[in-house]
Amino acid sequence: MVVTTTWYLVLAAVLFSMGSVGLLTRRNPLVMFMCVELMLNAVNLTFVSLGADLGDLGGQLSVFFVLVVAAAEVVVGLAVIVAIMRRRPGATADDLSVLGG
Amino acid sequence: MDAAVFIVSAVVVLTGAAGVLVARNPVHAALFLVQTLFGVAVLFVLQDATFLAAVQVIVYAGAVVILFLFVIMLLGVDRAEDLGIEPIAGQRSVAAIVGASMLGLLLTVLLVGVDGPTGARGANAALGGAEDNTRRLGEALFTDHVFAVELTALLLTVAVVGAVVLARRVRGPLQPMPVVTVASATGSDDASATGSDEATATGDDPAAEADDEGEAG
C-alpha cells in the first residue's frame, strides 16, 4: 500500500474540521486557542504534503513562517487571556461581549 | 511500512484532536494537543521534512503547550468545564453542521474536484532528501527569503513587547472593567441632570464595588 498525497490531505481536512468544530463549540478561551492550533497544524500538514508532492521546498518554507506567526499569535493571545482572566476570573468566551455593543 | 506508520500516526493525531474537543479539563486538553502535535511531527518525518519535525516538537510541544500550561496553572482555570450546559441554544448542532459541511466540501474538492496539485515541479527550490533537508531549507531561507526572515524577527519582537504590555500588572488601584467605566462616566457626566439619572448611577455603584471586591480577592 502506497501512501499518496491524498491520504495526507484527507487527514488534514479531517483535522481542520475537528479544530473548527472545537472552536465553535468550546467556551473556555484557552481550549479555543488549542483548537486554533489544531487548524494551523492541519494547514501545515497540507503545505508539507503538497511540497513533497511537487518536489518543491516552498511548502516547508511556508510552514516555517506559519510556525513563527503561530508562536507570536499564541504569545499575544495568551497575554490577552491573562489580562482578561485577571479582571474576571472564570470568564468564558460568552462573557466577553464588551465590544459587541 | 509507510502505510503502517501513516495509519498509526493518523490515529494518534485524530484521537488527540478528539481529546482536545471533548476534554472537560483544560490541562487534559493541552496534553491531548501534545499528542496531536507529536503525530503531526511523525507525519513530517514520513515526508522527509526532518527539520520541521524537530521544530514542531521543540516549538509547539516544547514551547507553545508549555506556555498554555503555564497560563492554565497561573490563572487557576484548571477546573473542569461543564460541557452539559449549552449557553446558546442550538450552538452545538449548528457547529456540527458547519463542521460536517466544511469537511464534505474539502473532501469533495480533494477527492473529486481536482486531479492532484497543479503548478511547476520544483519551481523555486528543489526538495532534497531527508539528509540535506536542513541545509537546503537554511540556504533557501537565508538567500531567497532573507527579507521575510528579517520580518519574522521584527514580528517576534513586536509580539514580545505586546505580550509584556498586555500582561503586566498595573500599578495602583485596579481600573474597572470597560462596562463599569461606561456606566460611571455616564453618571459623572449627568451629575447635574435629572434625579432619575442620579438614581441609575447610584444603582450601578454596588455592582461596581462588588466587581472591585472580586478583583481584589
- Domain ranges in chain B are 170-217
Q: Does the pLDDT of residue B93 top 50, yes or no? A: yes
What is the number of structural domains in chain A? 1
Residue B204 CB coordination number (10 Å): 17
Q: What is the mean pLDDT of chain A?
A: 88
User: Touching check for B116 and chain A: CB below 8 Å?
Assistant: yes
* Interface ipTM: 0.92
In which domain, by residue range, is A64 found? Answer: 5-92
Q: Do the domain assignments include residue A97?
A: no
Which carries the bigger pLDDT value, residue B215 or residue B89? B89
Cell matching residue B59: 516549538
Q: Model confidence at B77, in pLDDT bands (50, 70, 90)? A: low
User: Touching check for B28 and chain A: CB below 8 Å?
Assistant: no
Cell matching residue A10: 484527507
What pLDDT, on a 0 to 100 scale, did the predictor assign at position B9? 95
In chain B, residues with a C-beta closer than 8 Å to the C-beta of A13 are 103, 106-107, 110
On whether the CB atoms of residues A52 and B47 are closer than 8 A, the answer is: yes
Q: Do the domain assignments include residue A87?
A: yes
Q: Does the pLDDT of residue B120 top 80, yes or no? A: no
Shortest CA distance from B21: residue in chain A: A22
Question: For the ranges A49-58, B18-27, B122-131, which has the lowest average pLDDT?
Answer: B122-131
Q: What is the mean pLDDT of chain B?
A: 78
User: Touching check for B123 and chain A: CB below 8 Å?
Assistant: yes
Q: Does the pLDDT of residue B190 top 60, yes or no? A: no
Taking an 8 Å cut-off on Cβ atoms, the answer to whether B26 and A28 are in contact is yes
Q: pLDDT, tens digit, for every residue of B5-25?
A: 999 999 999 999 999 999 888
Q: Model confidence at B217, in pLDDT bands (50, 70, 90)? A: very low
On whether the CB atoms of residues B74 and A86 are closer than 8 A, the answer is: no
CATH number of the domain that A25 lies in?
A: 1.10.287.3510
Q: Which residues on neighbouring strands pair with residue B126, listed in sequence order?
A: A56
Between the alpha carbon of residue B58 and those of residues A37, B37, B196, the distances in Å are 15, 10, 61
Task: Show Cβ contacts of residue A29 under 8 Å, excluding neighbours closer than 6 positions.
Answer: A81, A84, A91, A92, A93, A96
Q: Does the pLDDT of residue B116 top 90, yes or no? A: no
Q: Model confidence at B178, in pLDDT bands (50, 70, 90)? A: low
Question: Which residue, among B24, B78, B103, would best test binding to A if mutated, counting the most A CBs under 10 Å from its CB?
Answer: B103
Q: Model confidence at A27, in pLDDT bands (50, 70, 90)? A: confident
What pLDDT, on a 0 to 100 scale, did the predictor assign at position A93? 77
- Under 8 Å CB pairs connecting chains A and B tally to 249
Question: Which residue, among A15, A41, A92, would best test binding to B if mutated, counting the most B CBs under 10 Å from its CB?
Answer: A41
Cell matching residue A5: 498525497
Q: What percent of chain B has pLDDT over 70?
A: 69
Task: For residues A44 and A48, give the distance between their C-alpha atoms in angstroms, rounded to a whole number.
Answer: 6
Q: Do the domain assignments include residue A98?
A: no
CA proximity to B20, closest of B53, B52, B68, B54: B68
In chain B, residues with a C-beta closer than 8 Å to the C-beta of A69 are 152, 155
Q: Which segments of chain B does DSSP mark as H helices, in order?
A: 2-22, 26-46, 50-55, 65-75, 91-108, 133-143, 146-167, 178-189, 195-216
Task: For residues A31 and B99, give the distance between their C-alpha atoms in angstroms, rounded to a whole number.
Answer: 17
DSSP assigned state of B64: I
Dihedral sign (CA B135, B138, B140, B144): negative
